[in-house]
Amino acid sequence: MNDVLDKKIENVLDHVLDQADRMFIATSVGGNSSGASVFFSRDGEDLVFFTFHPTRKAEQIRLNPRVHVVIWPKGQEGIEGLQIDGECYKIKDEDEKKRAYELVLNTTKAFKEFMEDEFLIKNDVVGYYRIKPTTIKYVNFYQEEKFEWKTYPANKTSAVKMAFKLGLKRIGLWLRTIRAPFLTATFVPIFIGAAVAWNDLKEAGLDSSWSWRMFWLVLGGASLAQIATNSSNDYFDHTSNADEINKVASPFNGGSRVIQVGLMTPGQVLITALVSIVGTVAIGLHLNQQVSGEFFGNTPILWTGIIGTFLALGYTGDPVRLGYKGFGEIAIKDLEKSQLHLDLVQSW
């Protein structure tokens, strides 16, 4: 039975490759589903294909390697074909890359220019992916038994190992969403302000009044303020289509692009911004209460916080959109620094 089914699967794949047809690959992350039609080639039981790493499918595969593939030979009118569940991975081994290069070229030369572009290769913009089938469903409405399955248990990652890997990747996704590397712009002035405050307290003989609790509150509040600014920027740049139009995105422009590549929904990014703003306000009001005795005491901390919240949302949000009027970076960065110094100096 298995030999007969193997032959049926082989016939479908051979028919496809003879006609230089494509496969349709579906990927998904957090409810964001995507589909793409790609040329492919066979490597034993595996399928290999070429693509650009910044594409939506490649970004989603990096976070969730589980894919679904559909292959229908031409002329079958959807009657006979294959549906494949599998795990897809970027090929990293150099010998495997060379083999994949040759296999893909046997199917199509449409991307040969990009496959051999030294700049794209050096900067890891292009590459090859391997799909290891876990289940192949053979569909044929011409025969009595219309659906037949073949499983590949050896290709399936254990549930525990997959959950662990996906958990780590989810953490990486959130770090990307909040643009964690750029939080150094917040950390540096806080550390400097803390050093100045500590030195002043020590010289005044008041070093015992130093509060690590206050330090961590200020650090957390300021970090949340920047996360709110970054996330709201991503959301509003999506609603205005600014990030979609940007075709030359880099770490310094175009945002985190988690919306554009289907890693998070616009709603999830907006919630991240709103939760961060709420956290910032809560910490700011607590610090203001420590300084003035009242949550809404009339202090520079209160007014700087009010203006800061307005600017965080108005950075790229309608109708203000300061970032598009030449005032965005100046307003946000200067306000963040003044807020940090006020928090540190007045809290102690």
- pLDDT for 318: 66
User: Given pLDDT bands bounded at 50, 70 and 90, which one contains residue 319?
Assistant: low
- pLDDT for 254: 66
User: Given pLDDT bands bounded at 50, 70 and 90, which one contains residue 343?
Assistant: very low
From 232-246, 259-273, 329-343, the region with the lowest mean pLDDT: 329-343
128 φ/ψ angles, rounded to the nearest 5 degrees: -125, 150
Rounded to whole angstroms, the Cα distance separating 112 from 102 reads 10
Question: What average pLDDT does the segment 102-107 reach?
Answer: 92
Q: Is 7 exposed, middle or buried (0-12, 13-18, 19+ CB in 10 A)?
A: exposed
- Name the residue with higher pLDDT: 5 or 221: 221
CB-hemisphere CA count at 13 Å for 143?
11
Does residue 5 register a pLDDT over 70?
A: yes
Question: What average pLDDT does the segment 5-27 reach?
Answer: 72
Domain-wise residue ranges, the chain? 2-156, 172-195+205-347
Output the CATH code of domain 172-195+205-347: 1.10.357
Please, are residues 240 and 209 in contact by the beta-carbon 8 Å criterion? no
Other C-beta atoms within 10 Å of 319: how many? 5
* Amino acid residing at 75: G
For 2-156, the fitting CATH number among 2.60.300.12, 2.80.10.50, 2.30.110.10, 3.40.640.10 is 2.30.110.10
For 161-184, the pLDDT digits (tens) are: 989 988 999 899 999 998 998 899
Question: What average pLDDT does the segment 204-219 reach?
Answer: 87
Triad 163, 262, 66: Cα angle to 5° = 35
- pLDDT for 340: 45
Please, are residues 238 and 268 in contact by the beta-carbon 8 Å criterion? no
- pLDDT for 15: 61
DSSP string, 206-224: -GGG--HHHHHHHHHHHHH
Instruction: Enter the DSSP assignment of 295.
Output: T
- Name the residue with higher pLDDT: 106 or 329: 106
- Name the residue with higher pLDDT: 33 or 10: 33
User: Given pLDDT bands bounded at 50, 70 and 90, which one contains residue 249?
Assistant: low
Please, are residues 324 and 316 in contact by the beta-carbon 8 Å criterion? yes
Please, are residues 75 and 21 in contact by the beta-carbon 8 Å criterion? no
Does residue 160 register a pLDDT over 60?
A: yes
From 7-16, 56-65, 185-194, 304-313, the region with the lowest mean pLDDT: 7-16
* Amino acid residing at 229: T
For 129-145, the pLDDT digits (tens) are: 999 999 999 888 888 88
User: Average pLDDT of the chain?
Assistant: 83
Rounded to whole angstroms, the Cα distance separating 45 from 96 reads 15
43, two tokens: 């490597």
The percentage of the chain sitting over the pLDDT mark of 90, rounded to a whole number, equals: 34
- pLDDT for 60: 95
Question: What average pLDDT does the segment 245-264 reach?
Answer: 75
Peptide bond into 73 cis (omega under 30): no
Question: What average pLDDT does the segment 237-248 reach?
Answer: 74
Q: Are strands 126-140 and 80-90 parallel, antiparallel or unpaired?
A: antiparallel
From 8-22, 278-292, 325-339, the region with the lowest mean pLDDT: 325-339
User: Given pLDDT bands bounded at 50, 70 and 90, which one contains residue 305?
Assistant: confident
- Name the residue with higher pLDDT: 267 or 339: 267
**HEC sequence for 67-136:** EEEEECCCCCCCCEEEEEEEEEEECCCHHHHHHHHHHHHHHCCCCHHHHCCHHHHHCCCEEEEEEEEEEE
Triad 276, 29, 175: Cα angle to 5° = 35
Does residue 256 register a pLDDT over 70?
A: yes
- pLDDT for 320: 65
146, two tokens: 């219309």
Ramachandran class of 327: left when φ > 0, alpha when ψ lies in -120 to 50, beta otherwise: alpha
Rounded to whole angstroms, the Cα distance separating 129 from 101 reads 11
